[in-house]
Structure formats: structure tokens, C-alpha cells
Amino acid sequence: MAFIPPKETYPGRVYSVSIGTGQKEITVGGENVLSFHSFEGTVPNRPLIAHEIQDVPPTDWPESVQKPYIDVYANPVSWAKYCQDVLNAKAIALRLIGTHPDRENRSAEEAARTVKEVVDSIDIPLIILGSNHTEKDSSVLIAAAEASKDRNCIIGKAQEANYKTIAAAAVANNHKLIAMSELDINLSKQLNILITQMGFDKEKIIIDPMCSALGYGLEYTYSVMERIRLAGLAQNDPTMQQPIMGDVGMYVWKVKETIADEKDVPLWGNTEERGITWEAVTAISMLIAGAEILIMRHPKAIEAIEKMIDELM
């Protein structure tokens, strides 16, 4: 029996989405096959890993992932420049966590100032994230979008409760938009429909189906991402052909496997290596499932993922 490779071709294709400006502009997406399946189609762009920084010192991050940034994190600008210039980051994700009412409760104006300073100090693409407080994010992200006008950033996350204002700000200032839903492919499609019904260009949306950490619901995110990709490719569904984002670091660096000291859990081995591995394994699973953009924290985990992408491309 002769072997004929059972290759798949799909009618759909993931939209190519560019972010940033000038020489450091980056394009993601554009493939017409499942992740890294270049043997049966085209995969023109590699996935993008963005280094996460935030507007206030990361005192809530576990020690292993605070350490690499200890000299720079007091100031978001020095932090961003460190990632760009020393760690060779390809993109920065600035999380405005300090605006959360239960945190520093920074105002939209303060957040906008931070965004302006950061965007002016780097030439790589910027992702601007709110604090996931749906009401506050509306005002914060409008101000942030204006402060970074025409720099072709990604802003978000727009959710069902606040997408209208955020999408309008993204249009007005020429940004891409993250559409986030909670682990439900049907709600994800619904949100994309609602956003495009406002007149928002469907090819400027990034899907965030909600990330989860290894051991904490990872299989849900994994399957939702796989199903989104299959809907976009095999069913040629134009509302499911956007690049997918995985907000990996935030979900990983709060589970006990990345925090617990080896002294307390000797069976789990070295704390720091465990944390880095946890983030890297979560990240590779998301990439295999279909993500094109990841937001990550630990430089060593990012380095390993870049090497793995090299092997996969």
C-alpha cells in the first residue's frame, strides 16, 4: 500500500495584521493552515512574543519574575527600553494595572502620560492593556489610545460590556483592537460580530479567547483556540479569521506552581526553573493550539519560546 500524505487544504486564511510603524513594524497571521503546518500551506509570519511591563512596580509578581527587572521596573520607560534594547524584545505589552480602582487607582490622564512616555521611548510595536475593570478601562483606554495616536498599537481588552467606547477609540486613533470573551467560542464570535456591526474593520481585531495557565483550565483555552482556528480555516468563517492572542504571563505567574518555595514543596523542584518552565509550557501549548501573539513575562521563558519557534518554522 503506497503512502500518500493526507494533506489538508482549507478555504479560509487568517488575516494578516500589522502593528507598529516604520522599520520595526511587524505582521502576524496570514497563514492558511493550522499552526506551524507549513508542510501543507503557507505560514508567512512567525508568532509574536510581547514582553509584558506595567505602569506601576510589579510588587504583585512572584519574586522569580520580579528579579530580572528589579533595576528598571520603578519606571515604565526604563523598563520598556530595557526590554527593547537589552532583551531584544520584538514588542512591548504595557499593562495599565495601576488604574484599577482597587490598586493605585491612577486616573486616565496619568495612564495616558505613561503611555505617551513609553511609546515615545521605543520604536518596537506596543500593546496597551487596561486593568480588566470594564468600567474603568473604557475611560483609561480612550485616553491611552489618544496618547499613542497613529502608532498602530493594539489596545484592549474590549469585552461585551465596554466594546463600544474602546472600539471607537481604536478607530479614531488608528489602532488594532483586542476582543476578549471568557472561554466560549460562541461568545467570541458574537463579540466579533457586534464589533464589526459598529463599522469596525474585521481585519483589525485580535481575538483573546481568555488564557489559562497550565494545570488551571489550560485545556479549555487550548480547545477554544483550536476550534476558532478550524472555524476560520475549514468553515471559512470571516468572523473567526483574526489572529489569536494569549495573555500568558498574567495567568501563569499567580498559580501556586510558579510561586511556592521549593522548601515547602520539595517534590516540585527548583522554584525559579519551575516558574519559567510553567510559563514556557503554557506558551508553547497556546502557540500549537493557534495563538499568533503571546504576552509573556520571564525573559528566559521568552528566549526558550523563540528558540522553539525557530525549530518549528
DSSP H helices, 102-217, are 108-121, 134-147, 163-172, 185-197
| Other CB atoms within 10 Å distance of the CB of residue 150 | 9
Q: Largest Cα–Cα distance in the chain? A: 69
Q: Kindly state whether residue 268 participates in binding another protein, applying the rule CB under 8 A.
A: yes
Buried b (16+ CB within 10 A) or exposed e, 109-140: ebbbbbbbebbeebebbbbbbbbbbbebbbbb
Q: Identify the residue among 28, 277, 290, 299 touching another protein (CB under 8 A).
A: 277
Please, which of residues 85-124 interact with another protein by CB under 8 A?
102
Place of cell 511591563: 53
Q: How far is the CB of 307 from another protein (least distance, A)?
A: 6
Q: How far is the CB of 16 from another protein (least distance, A)?
A: 21
Please, which of residues 9-48 interact with another protein by CB under 8 A?
36-39
Span near another protein by CB under 8 A; candidates 54-62, 73-81, 195-203, 270-278: 270-278
Q: Identify the residue among 103, 202, 227, 254 touching another protein (CB under 8 A).
A: 227
Span near another protein by CB under 8 A; candidates 114-122, 152-160, 233-241, 298-306: 298-306
Q: Rounded to the nearest 10 degrees, how much is the dihedral formed by the CA atoms of 64, 68, 70, 75?
A: -120
Short-list 152, 117, 112, 118, CA closest to 130: 112
In angstroms, the CA 115 to CA 37 distance is 37
| Residue with smaller CB distance to another protein, 35 or 139 | 35
| Residue with smaller CB distance to another protein, 199 or 266 | 266
Place of cell 528589579: 70
Please, which of residues 141-200 interact with another protein by CB under 8 A?
183-184, 186
Orientation of helix 218-233 relative to helix 271-289, angle to 10°: 20
Q: How far is the CB of 310 from another protein (least distance, A)?
A: 9
C-alpha cell of residue 237: 468563517
Q: How far is the CB of 208 from another protein (least distance, A)?
A: 17
Q: Kindly state whether residue 214 participates in binding another protein, applying the rule CB under 8 A.
A: yes
Q: Kindly state whether residue 240 participates in binding another protein, applying the rule CB under 8 A.
A: no
Short-list 55, 95, 60, CA closest to 77: 55
Span near another protein by CB under 8 A; candidates 16-24, 78-86, 226-234, 235-243: 226-234
Q: Which residues sit at the interface with another protein, rule CB under 8 A? A: 1, 3, 5-8, 36-39, 102, 183-184, 186, 214-215, 217-220, 222-223, 226-227, 230, 257, 267-270, 273-274, 276-278, 280-281, 284-285, 288-289, 300, 304-305, 307-308, 311-313
